[in-house]
Structure 1
């Protein structure tokens, strides 16, 4: 897959700080490598407490509760930041139906805004904090 427009697809700037949560051996390493190359920064580990511009949340059916995972993703997110929820595409192990995302997002204080085709195996859903 061509990742040349990855930053614009994700709405990120080259110096953005991006935290990654939920990494396992099934994630798209090509996507991760391309993102690090274009950011010119390593992705920040989920254990770090640094304030970030975006969070990549890898989530599969069978992981813990989606609402809880989304709330946790907000812990280090800067004002104006975005959460990209990455879930396995339809037909793959761990597929998360869009209705589950639509249900969980408002409970976590988030609003689903769009999706992006960033990976052949993973769907990306853009979530932003709701305005108070």
Structure 2
């Protein structure tokens, strides 16, 4: 259940499937992100979020807003350090929130970036999460 201040609870982070020891990279951070969600993610993985990595990461958290530009560019950038079996959690403002990203743009961006939309997750009152993965044949 979302908090009344618009932030996520630790229970909502479980929908992201994050577990202790995963290497999670964060891209697109800005002062509008859900800090409680970020803290809950770090608690779940028992570590800090990475901004740059010398090794492949298991998960990329990509905060994306309409003004950030073409979502394809963000997804392609997110693939840079992602392991072949990893996933991207694309976090976008929910419908009616400032900087909302149209789901059609996300679907087209995923296809163009060579990704497949997987399950969505409700993680916050103000942010929604969409899981993106490489097509099954492209995972090693």
Question: Partners of 2:123 and 2:12 in 1: how far apart?
Answer: 9
Aligned residues: 130
Name the residue aligned to 1:4.
Answer: 11
Structure that is richer in helix per residue: 2
Asked if residue 92 in structure 1 is aligned to residue 97 in structure 2, the reply is: yes
CA distance in 2, matches of 1:4, 1:55: 20
Deviation at 1:60, TM superposition (A): 0.3
Secondary structure at the aligned position of 2:25 is classed as strand
Question: Is residue 3–residue 118 contact of structure 1 (8 Å, CA) maintained in 2?
Answer: no
For the residue of structure 1 that corresponds to 2:90, the secondary structure is strand
State TM-score, norm by structure 1. Answer: 0.93
Secondary structure at 2:111's aligned position in 1?
helix
Match of 1:58 in 2: 63
In structure 1, stretches of 5+ residues that fail to align are none
Q: CA deviation at 1:48?
A: 3.3
Runs of 4+ with >4 A deviation: none
1:72 and 1:5 map into 2 onto residues whose CA distance is 26
State the TM-score, normalizing by the size of structure 2. 0.88
Partner SS for 2:110: helix
Instruction: State the distance in 1 between where 2:12 and 2:129 align.
Output: 15
**Residue of 77, 80, 102 corresponding to 2:82:** 77
